[in-house]
Structure 1
Amino acid sequence: MSSTTVTRAVSQPVQLKVDNVADKSSEKNKLINELWVIPEFTDKYEERQWAKEHMAGAFRVFAKLGFNDGAGGHISLRDPVQTDCFWINPYPVHFGLVKASDLILVNEDGDALVETQYKVNRAGFMIHAALHKARPDVHAACHMHTPHGRAWSVFGKPIEMLCQDSCYFYNDLSIYEGFGGVVLAREEGERIAEALGPKNMSVILQNHGLLTCGGTVDEAAGRFIALERACQTQLLAEAAAANGIRKTYIGEEEAMYTKEGAGTAAVLFTQFKPEYDMILKETNGDFLD
């Protein structure tokens, strides 16, 4: 009878000081140290156009990933010029057809500030208006009813620290417990914003779906993709565990270390960049119009 020997390499405890790289001798090497850069603008109108283009690009990426769900789902973008107003997608337009020129600028009362042939999803407006009012640091937010996020949301539980990508959400994920129906009232939007809290950037809406935020659309979109995939990982792990396979969890220190090094705004912004660049090539940039 043959036997198989399994060799396990055990990692050493981590140091909780986060550097771009561990090797201090490489600090001056921009090739490996300055990996994540979020653009900055002095002209707010230029920033507005750039952000709208990236918002339209995010819809195209989400369509490609299968996140479109009929007429549901929305992304909002705080306007860099009129910061008490925000841009939102037209209703009911497929994500794969959204262009920058289709986006609608609304104030906190839901009045359109640009000419448009479209409507605005009422539930989407209620959620995003409350978020932007409660959280001045939230410049963009994504909410979708994606397959794995929706499935995991029925448990009303946060994801566990099962893998490196799950750690992006360490101590940075809220749960909105209970389901109050379609968000047609301002109070429901306010309760969602309250559940998100003063600092967290993601929330699982029980029996509903996922919502992520960011300082840019790119960050919020990168975070949303990561959370949807983390929910998928969680569901797969739960299925395996139900058949008797033991789950191994990442420790608190390691999870915090990973969050501080890889779950930042700049990293999540950069995580979305390849998706944006690819959809730009595939569509010949038709969403920039």
Structure 2
Amino acid sequence: MSSTTIASTASPAQVQLRSAEDGVLNWNVRKTEGLHQVPTFTDKEAERNWAKQHMAAAFRTFARLGWADGASGHISLRDPINPEWFWINPYAMHFGLIKASDLVLVDHSGKPVQPTSHKVNAAGFIIHSSIHRARPDINAACHMHSPAGRAWSSFGKGIEMLNQVYEGFGGIVLAEEEGSRLADALGKDCLNLILQNHGLLTCGSTVDEAAAYFIALERACANQIMAESAAANGVPKKFVGEEEAEYTFKCTGTPACAYMQFQPEFDLTVALSDGKVLD
């Protein structure tokens, strides 16, 4: 008869870590500030160009992961020069083709700030305009109809250990009131929403942070669906304890950590495009 041993983290072994200064560990559990850093700029034009390049790369990353959806789906970016404007993707351009120069700069009435031959999706504009107006702390927002997110959203439930679900989806967001309700659902400090029967919405202080949260939430939805399938066949679920979850969040739930989480995807996307995404 064979036996299986299940590892438990209830009594962790005592490990002596070398300090970050004289070792090669990527971080010290007591100090992560030196590793996770978001670039800062004194030149606002340079910051705008950098942010647009990362935004374009996020679109191509989402396309590579299979989340392009025809003319649907958007990422928005608050303009570093004028916070009352924001960048958004052109209507009906495939995510996998978007370059930084293709992005459209609009004000909160939907008027283009710079000359452009592109149009902007009205429903997407309303969602993102409402969020940027309601939450000055949010500089970027991602909304996609990714497969696992859309599938899990049909249950009207949050991911276990997450609790923000927007239950009042009223169809295509063509009414300003609907966009306002989405912004209200985010509240004052939430960054992620599951839109019932619709998809996912994630936000952040940078495009990289919002994109990293979107990737994580989409994968969490996929994991939840698989876990629910197993549970339906009699396999009980085990939940992460509140103390462990809180500790993990303190270590990895910072904007800078989320920013770093997206950098491997950014680098790969730039390489696969031969740098064209940055144009």
Provide the C-alpha distance between the structure 2 equivalents of 1:194 and 1:13, rounded to a whole number of angstroms.
42
Per the alignment, in what secondary structure is the counterpart of residue 109 of structure 2? coil
Counterpart position of 1:6: 4
Structure 2 residues without counterparts, runs of 5 or longer: 28-33
Matches within 5 A, 1:57-206: 57-161=57-161, 170=162, 174-206=164-196
Shift of 1:13: 6.8
Per the alignment, in what secondary structure is the counterpart of residue 69 of structure 2? coil
Residue 245 of structure 1 pairs with residue 228 of structure 2? no
CA contact (8 A) 1:174 1:197 kept: no
Per the alignment, in what secondary structure is the counterpart of residue 4 of structure 2? coil
Provide the C-alpha distance between the structure 2 equivalents of 1:223 and 1:29, rounded to a whole number of angstroms.
32
Structure 1 residues without counterparts, runs of 5 or longer: 15-21, 162-169
* Fraction of identical pairs, as percent: 57
Per the alignment, in what secondary structure is the counterpart of residue 248 of structure 1? coil
Given residue 114 of structure 1, which amino acid in structure 2 is its aligned partner?
Q
Counterpart position of 2:47: 47
Provide the C-alpha distance between the structure 2 equivalents of 1:244 and 1:233, rounded to a whole number of angstroms.
17
Given residue 40 of structure 2, which amino acid in structure 1 is its aligned partner?
E
CA contact (8 A) 1:61 1:279 kept: yes
Deviations 1:154-190 (CA, angstroms, capped at 9, x unpaired): 11111014xxxxxxxx5xx521112211000111000
Deviations 1:195-235 (CA, angstroms, capped at 9, x unpaired): 01100110000000000001100110011001000000000
Shift of 1:4: 1.9
CA contact (8 A) 1:63 1:95 kept: yes
Given residue 58 of structure 1, which amino acid in structure 2 is its aligned partner?
A
Given residue 12 of structure 1, which amino acid in structure 2 is its aligned partner?
A
Counterpart position of 1:166: none
Deviations 1:134-160 (CA, angstroms, capped at 9, x unpaired): 101100000000000000001111101
Residue 267 of structure 1 pairs with residue 257 of structure 2? yes
Counterpart position of 1:38: 38
Per the alignment, in what secondary structure is the counterpart of residue 7 of structure 1? coil
Residue 26 of structure 1 pairs with residue 11 of structure 2? no
Provide the C-alpha distance between the structure 2 equivalents of 1:149 and 1:264, rounded to a whole number of angstroms.
23
Provide the C-alpha distance between the structure 2 equivalents of 1:23 and 1:38, rounded to a whole number of angstroms.
29
Given residue 91 of structure 1, which amino acid in structure 2 is its aligned partner?
Y
Provide the C-alpha distance between the structure 2 equivalents of 1:12 and 1:27, rounded to a whole number of angstroms.
26
Per the alignment, in what secondary structure is the counterpart of residue 141 of structure 2? strand
For normalisation by structure 1, the TM-score amounts to 0.89
Provide the C-alpha distance between the structure 2 equivalents of 1:28 and 1:122, rounded to a whole number of angstroms.
51
Aligned residue pairs, count: 270
For normalisation by structure 2, the TM-score amounts to 0.92
Counterpart position of 2:30: none
Deviations 1:263-283 (CA, angstroms, capped at 9, x unpaired): 221111111100110011111
Counterpart position of 2:269: 279
Provide the C-alpha distance between the structure 2 equivalents of 1:40 and 1:220, rounded to a whole number of angstroms.
17
Shift of 1:6: 2.3
Shift of 1:5: 2.2
Provide the C-alpha distance between the structure 2 equivalents of 1:116 and 1:65, rounded to a whole number of angstroms.
28
Q: Which moved more, 1:260-269 or 1:217-226?
A: 260-269
